Amino acid sequence: MVNYNGQLTKNTVVLSVTNRGFAFGDAVFETIKMVNSKLLFWEDHYFRLMASMRILRMEIPMEFTMEFLESEILKTIKANSLENSAVRVKLTVFREGDGLYAPKTNSIAYVITVKETEKSLYQLNIDSYRVDIFK
């Protein structure tokens, strides 16, 4: 199940080939990890998403609060019966409509996808790195 603008649907969402997010990459996304029913670094992800949307001059709806998006993510996780799993969440926000050079609208749509992941925690790389400084 995926969450398309708050509606849970089967794993397919149909976008027009003229959609700016599809045709021109007029979109932003955040990939978030959930472990033990907790979204890791959620506040950091949320503020980076909002900053990215502002840079692209997307129209941010008033209901796009941290609490709203968290509840939509958790709703999607629950619909996929992944509450007790380590989960990779991808939240994609894209501009609705089409347009060639300039977008016809600044309003947005969003898609939330979730996928179970094997590793519950981040792993440190055991290989060492060598860093040199050049002047």
pLDDT, tens digit, 9 for 90 and up, residues 75-116: 999 999 999 999 999 999 998 877 676 777 788 999 999 999
How many domains does the structure of the chain reveal?
1
Q: What is the extent of the structural domain holding 75?
A: 2-116
What is the rounded CA–CA span in Å between residue 21 and residue 79? 26
- Domain membership of residue 62 (yes or no) is yes
77 within 8 A of 33, measured Cβ to Cβ: no
CATH number at residue 85: 3.30.470.10
- Domain membership of residue 89 (yes or no) is yes
Q: How far apart are the first and last CA of the chain?
A: 53
Residue 3 has phi, psi (to 5 degrees) of -105, 110
Q: Give tens-digit pLDDT for 1-58.
A: 999 999 999 877 777 777 787 878 889 999 999 998 899 999 999 999 999 999 999 9
- Domain membership of residue 135 (yes or no) is no
